[in-house]
Amino acid sequence: MRPPVLGPDPYGALMRTPAANLLTRAGLPKPPRLRRHEPGQDLLTGPALVIGLDGATWTGDLGTWLRAAGATVLDEHPGGTGEERLGAVLVDASGLRRVEELGQLRERLAPAFRRTRGRVLLLGADPARLTDPEARAVQQGLEGLLRSLAKEARGGTTVNLVRIAPGARTALRSAVEFLCSARSAFVHGQPVLVGAGEPAPARERPVAVVTGAARGIGAAIVDVLARTGHHVVCVDVPAAGDGLAAVANRVHGSTLHLDVTADTAPQVLATHLADRFDGADVVVHNAGITRDRSFVNLDEAAWNSVLDVNLRAPLRLTTGLLDHPGALAPAARFVYLSSINGLAGAKGQTNYATSKAGLVGLVQALAEPLAARGLAANAVAPGFIETPMTAAMPPVPRELGRRIASLQQGGLPVDVAEAVGWLAQPDAAGIDGQVLRVCGQNLLGA
């Protein structure tokens, strides 16, 4: 008899067998099955309820956008026995300014939250733009609600908060569509700030470049960007040539064998993009390595190699592309792969966390100057993702890494790739300088 195929997460697979009933009765967690993107699927699994609290201005638009995406929209709680599930509940709380108004969240959202299996989306104002202390406190309060609701959500339901800056109409629609869809299955408990920005006219065949594309998350990013119509230039070290060719071939992309740390790498990449492709529309800095050791045992080579690949190379490549005429399309987007370990710190990863937190500083520094040129830079910070990198971890931290997320499982490379794909979309133009965690609300860095 052939042994059952358990995949990278044997416990998660076991909890989808009949044995799960017994084990959950013994108090063991049962990771929910996440609904992921499939071609032609409905946006939601049930109707969407749109709730407008005091001062709400977006409810009409939300209804229009959701209907245009094929959803059934309710503007009143359906009542009844509670058997029927809502596919989503969206709450416009962006007009709340007074502490007593916060009670509306409990009154209006709680009955709907109980019946939602899918997506909960809170809409708020950007607290940083509010000068009135009470108004800012109220809007900041939404973050506590968000993070706590996310911990109470069940069955793979995700809860996220979109903070709306002035002029953010296009980016807000794009965020609503992404965060309501199955593409955001592993984005949970996160605030996202959307700002002003109009999409540049799309090129007939936009070009994306992805570093570290031969396997893992990079390969999944290639697939998603190809799905969204990009020609993808797949970059990896020459030693990963076979894997790289396989990834590029399956999406009719092209390959570039390049060690991103090489002295000539910025020049080689910039010339390649300018001469062969008329510039890149999307640049994804995904190549990354770990050399884990306690700080006191970390030798110079382990420190330098991680900082070189993960931070110095993206920095040099970015400068090289920005300085080289024709290397970038007029509205190019940069996306950098950070990590929740860079936000929260991780034992044995001082080098890695330094490099990944450094990338956050990089996107924050780039945001304004790039916006002035019509470009944008954002980071995606994955949590525990099932890849060869995490498969190499010792068993106990690996199992813990999966289970300490509110979604009680590791994400898949495609989950990170979908977030990158969203930030690369032309209508995400108003999203700049952000760090989006794709971690299933991992307690680390949450």
Residue from 118, 382, 426, 440 in contact with ligand NAD (CB under 6 A) = 382
Residue from 178, 186, 384, 422 in contact with ligand NAD (CB under 6 A) = 384
Within 222-241, the residues that bind ligand NAD by CB under 6 A are 236-237, 240
CA distance 261 to 287: 10
Residue from 189, 195, 206, 212 in contact with ligand NAD (CB under 6 A) = 212
Residue from 218, 320, 433, 445 in contact with ligand NAD (CB under 6 A) = 218
- Least distance from C-beta 245 to ligand NAD, angstroms? 12
- On whether the CB atoms of residues 350 and 295 are closer than 8 A, the answer is yes
Asked if 259 is part of the footprint of ligand NAD (rule: CB under 6 A), the reply reads yes
Asked if 195 is part of the footprint of ligand NAD (rule: CB under 6 A), the reply reads no
Q: How many residues bind to ligand NAD according to rule CB under 6 A?
A: 27
Torsion angle of the four alpha carbons 284, 289, 295, 298, in this order, in degrees rounded to the nearest 10: -130
Kindly state the tokens that stand for 268: 């080689």
Torsion angle of the four alpha carbons 232, 233, 239, 243, in this order, in degrees rounded to the nearest 10: 20
Stretch that binds ligand NAD, among 52-60, 114-122, 178-186, 257-265 (CB under 6 A): 257-265
Residue from 3, 388, 394, 395 in contact with ligand NAD (CB under 6 A) = 388
- Least distance from C-beta 435 to ligand NAD, angstroms? 12
Asked if 390 is part of the footprint of ligand NAD (rule: CB under 6 A), the reply reads yes
Within 1-20, the residues that bind ligand NAD by CB under 6 A are none
- Least distance from C-beta 382 to ligand NAD, angstroms? 4
The beta strand positions in 12-110, using DSSP E, are: 48-52, 73-74, 86-92
Q: How far apart are the first and last CA of the chain?
A: 44
Residue from 137, 298, 389, 443 in contact with ligand NAD (CB under 6 A) = 389
Within 263-292, the residues that bind ligand NAD by CB under 6 A are 286-289
Asked if 344 is part of the footprint of ligand NAD (rule: CB under 6 A), the reply reads no
> How many other C-beta atoms can be found within 10 angstroms of the C-beta atom of residue 33?
13
Q: Is 282 exposed, middle or buried (0-12, 13-18, 19+ CB in 10 A)?
A: buried
CB-nearer residue toward ligand NAD: 122 or 317: 317
- Least distance from C-beta 331 to ligand NAD, angstroms? 24
CB-nearer residue toward ligand NAD: 240 or 251: 240
Asked if 260 is part of the footprint of ligand NAD (rule: CB under 6 A), the reply reads yes
Local structure of residue 442 (DSSP, 8 states): B
What is the Cα Rg of the chain in Å?
A: 22
The answer to whether residue 352 is catalytic is yes
CA distance 415 to 438: 7
Stretch that binds ligand NAD, among 189-197, 270-278, 380-388, 422-430 (CB under 6 A): 380-388
CB-nearer residue toward ligand NAD: 63 or 218: 218
Please pick, among 336, 352, 384, 422, the residue that the annotation labels catalytic.
352
CB-nearer residue toward ligand NAD: 218 or 266: 218
User: Strand order of the sheet with strand 158-164?
Assistant: 73-74, 48-52, 86-92, 116-125, 158-164, 190-194
- DSSP letters spanning 175-215: HHHHHHSGGGTT--SEEEEE----PPPPPSS-EEEEESTTS
- On whether the CB atoms of residues 210 and 233 are closer than 8 A, the answer is yes
Distances (CA, A) of 267 to 272, 275, 321, 322: 8, 12, 8, 11
Stretch that binds ligand NAD, among 45-53, 148-156, 208-216, 247-255 (CB under 6 A): 208-216
Binding residues vs ligand NAD (CB under 6 A): 211-212, 214-218, 236-237, 240, 259-261, 286-289, 309, 337, 339, 382, 384-385, 387-390
Catalytic residue IDs: 352
